[in-house]
């Protein structure tokens, strides 16, 4: 059993969560939209890319990867990362930034986004499909067989990887995750800490548990944000 106290019990799953108070992110979103509309997003670089990491000698297994950028800002993931890994991305979707988002909502939880990516993966016999939100801090995956891996399924995939090196560890997630996920964790000797909804809440729970002597190797919410 987990030693983490759950402030949002399962009995309250049907209640509507309180909306978080507005933060400075609203202001940043306005700036982001302005840059996107002006076509300046392609000139922006993430910290990792600014370090000019050399990927020229790295190779991945042959096969195609479908990237659905959702007309957000992260189409450059193809030419700044996957192209350097010599990955075929010719079937990718919605790479050009468009603030109107006419094709679908740029959200890996969106059924339309996952559905059209699934079709592209199957049509191109691709190895993998990737669906990004607007700024690519959240993602979903489509398996080569067309199976959607997002929400709880994506958390489960990350857990399967973590458990290889850290069996019986504790995992922190938001209270929207399912009982099936908890069962998956406990069946493998792990511990599940259910905590407040919201990425920042989930991430901030780690140092608190660390101070209590509990080691954490994954903090992730169902929307796809994790650490």
CATH C-level class of 152-220: alpha beta
- The residues spanned by each domain of the chain are 47-149, 152-220
**Closest listed residue to residue 38, CA positions, set 73, 1, 76:** 73
CA-CA distance, 197 to 221, in Å (whole number)?
Answer: 8
pLDDT at 28 exceeding the cut of 70: no
**Closest listed residue to residue 206, CA positions, set 217, 196, 198:** 217
pLDDT in tens, 69-107: 999 988 888 888 888 888 899 999 999 999 899 899 999
CA-CA distance, 125 to 130, in Å (whole number)?
Answer: 14
CA-CA distance, 205 to 17, in Å (whole number)?
Answer: 19
Average pLDDT of 179-194?
Answer: 93
What pairs with residue 195 in β-bridges?
A: 174
Return the CATH number of 47-149, one of 3.40.120.10, 3.40.50.300, 3.40.50.720, 3.40.190.10.
Answer: 3.40.120.10
Q: What is the pLDDT of residue 135?
A: 87
Instruction: Please state the pTM of the whole predicted model.
Output: 0.69
Q: What is the pLDDT of residue 81?
A: 85
Q: How confident is the model at residue 4 (pLDDT cuts 50, 70, 90)?
A: low
pLDDT at 23 exceeding the cut of 60: no
Helix axes of 179-187 and 152-165: crossing angle, nearest 10 degrees:
10
Q: What single string gives the DSSP state of each residue in 73-107?
A: S-THHIIIIITTTT-B-TT-B--S--TT--SS-S-
């Amino acid at each position: 059993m987990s030693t983490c106290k759950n402030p949002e019990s399962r009995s309250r799953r049907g209640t509507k969560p309180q909306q978080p108070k507005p933060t400075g992110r609203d202001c940043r979103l306005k700036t982001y939209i302005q840059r996107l509309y002006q076509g300046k997003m392609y000139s922006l670089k993430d910290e990792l890319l600014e370090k000019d990491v050399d990927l020229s000698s790295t190779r991945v297994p042959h096969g195609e990867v479908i990237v659905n950028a959702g007309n957000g800002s992260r189409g450059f993931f193809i030419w700044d990362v996957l192209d350097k890994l010599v990955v075929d991305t010719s079937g990718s979707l919605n790479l050009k930034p468009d603030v109107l988002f006419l094709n679908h909502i740029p959200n890996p939880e969106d059924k339309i986004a996952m559905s059209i990516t699934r079709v592209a993966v199957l049509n191109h016999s691709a190895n993998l499909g990737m669906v990004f939100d607007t700024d690519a801090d959240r993602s979903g995956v489509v398996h080569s067989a067309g199976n959607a891996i997002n929400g709880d399924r994506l958390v489960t995939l990350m857990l399967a990887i973590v458990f290889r090196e850290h069996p019986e560890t504790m995992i922190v997630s938001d209270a929207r995750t399912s009982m099936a996920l908890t069962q998956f964790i406990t069946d493998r000797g792990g511990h599940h800490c259910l905590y407040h909804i919201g990425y920042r809440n989930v991430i901030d729970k780690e140092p608190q548990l660390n101070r209590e002597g509990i080691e954490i190797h994954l903090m992730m919410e169902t929307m796809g944000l994790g650490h």
